[in-house]
Amino acid sequence: MNRWWIYQKERFPVVKHGLLIAIFSTAAIAYANQLRPNPTAIAPGTVLVAFIVVFLAFLQLRIADEFKDFADDARYRPYRPVPRGLVSLGELRAIGWGCVAVQLGLTLALGWRSLILLAILWLYMSLMRHEFFAPDWLKVHPIAYLLSHMLIMPLLALYASSCDWLRADGEFPITLLWFLAVSYCNGLAIELGRKIRAPESEEPGVETYTALWGRSQAVAAWLGSLWLAALCSIGAAVQIQFWPAIAIGLVLLGIAVILAGRFWLRPTKRSADHLADMAGIWTLLVNLSLGVLPLIKI
């Protein structure tokens, strides 16, 4: 058990990820619920199912990364848990299939229509695992890699939200697209933020956006993703008429601009970490403001 504790600490922090995923899945359900003409009480069981399925999906994505990155990790990052022998790919494969079984059982409890969305989610994760069968092309087109892989975020939001709208009338609310767009942009911000590094933190064989594009373009891309997320969150807030969400987004955007400026002027490990942390805080608070806090209004 101790080695699995070490693994989760290094590669998939359960508490940190669990909090973000819990807020994300709850917000998706709550936002869909608020789009109804007459919002109803949210069933705790559907929230729990959405959280578990989405949490296990993120774990599966981490396991998939361990497989597709194994050769590079063994060559450039032998300190990671799998190359150094802490856990094996076989053990991770067994955990991944165990996740499939749990997801299948919980989704079947919701109904067969939910199973269709789960199948779509599994299919897209499988395509990601195999780099859409074009790994060499994606490797030399990092923007396409980023944009294609982040589509998993709205798919996860779609599944979580369906735990509400499928249970209600079964019709997809078209205005839910605003929340799906927010989820996509938030995913971009997190991915860009975690791969922006200070010069002393760059590693051979590790493709960061600062190494690929340079500091200025990487920071501009990160800020751009937050600007898009802010615009989409404004649109999402208008749909449910919850105006505090707009104020929260604008305040967070101002803080992000300041942090980006600090890193651009003084690219240290600490200032780079602030960008990654800010992306996580942004996602947490935006999801709270769109999904959880409006429940108080209701």
Query: Residue 169: what are its φ and ψ, rounded to 5°?
Result: -120, -5
What is the pLDDT averaged over residues 140-160? 96
Question: Do both 25 and 157 map to the same domain?
Answer: yes
Question: Do 188 and 146 touch, CB atoms closer than 8 A?
Answer: yes
pLDDT of residue 169: 73
Q: Give the lowest-confidence range in 49-53, 126-130, 163-167, 195-199.
A: 163-167
Question: Do both 16 and 43 map to the same domain?
Answer: yes
pLDDT of residue 278: 96
State the residue for tokens 């997190």.
190
Domain end marker among 121, 143, 170: 170
Question: Do both 160 and 207 map to the same domain?
Answer: no
Cβ contacts of 245-251, under 8 Å, gap ≥ 24: 245/286, 245/289, 245/290, 245/293, 245/294, 248/285, 248/286, 248/289, 249/286, 249/289
Domain end marker among 147, 170, 193: 170
What is the pLDDT averaged over residues 129-145? 94
Identity of the amino acid at 199: P
Report residue 138 CA to chain centroid gap. 20
Question: Do both 253 and 267 map to the same domain?
Answer: yes
**How far is the CA of 166 from the CAs of 20, 39, 157, 199, in angstroms?**
24, 14, 13, 48
Q: How far apart are CA 71 and CA 136, in angstroms?
A: 15
Question: Do both 180 and 119 map to the same domain?
Answer: no
Question: Do both 131 and 61 map to the same domain?
Answer: yes
Tokens representing residue 298 in the block: 């209701």
CATH number at residue 109: 1.10.357.140
pTM assigned to the model: 0.95
Question: Do both 178 and 125 map to the same domain?
Answer: no
Question: Do both 113 and 163 map to the same domain?
Answer: yes
Report residue 234 CA to chain centroid gap. 20
Average pLDDT, the chain: 94
Question: Do both 126 and 137 map to the same domain?
Answer: yes
What is the pLDDT averaged over residues 1-28? 95
pLDDT over threshold 70, residue 172: yes
**How far is the CA of 241 from the CAs of 36, 216, 234, 244, 246, in angstroms?**
13, 36, 10, 9, 10
Question: Do both 55 and 181 map to the same domain?
Answer: no
pLDDT of residue 122: 97
Q: How far apart are CA 94 and CA 151, in angstroms?
A: 26
pLDDT of residue 15: 95
pLDDT of residue 297: 61
Looking at the structure of the chain, the number of domains it has is 2
Question: Do both 179 and 97 map to the same domain?
Answer: no
| pLDDT, tens digit, 9 for 90 and up, residues 262-273 | 999 999 999 999
pLDDT over threshold 80, residue 249: yes
Domain span holding position 178: 173-298
What is the pLDDT averaged over residues 110-130? 94
pLDDT over threshold 80, residue 127: yes
Domain end marker among 146, 170, 194: 170
Question: Do both 89 and 6 map to the same domain?
Answer: yes
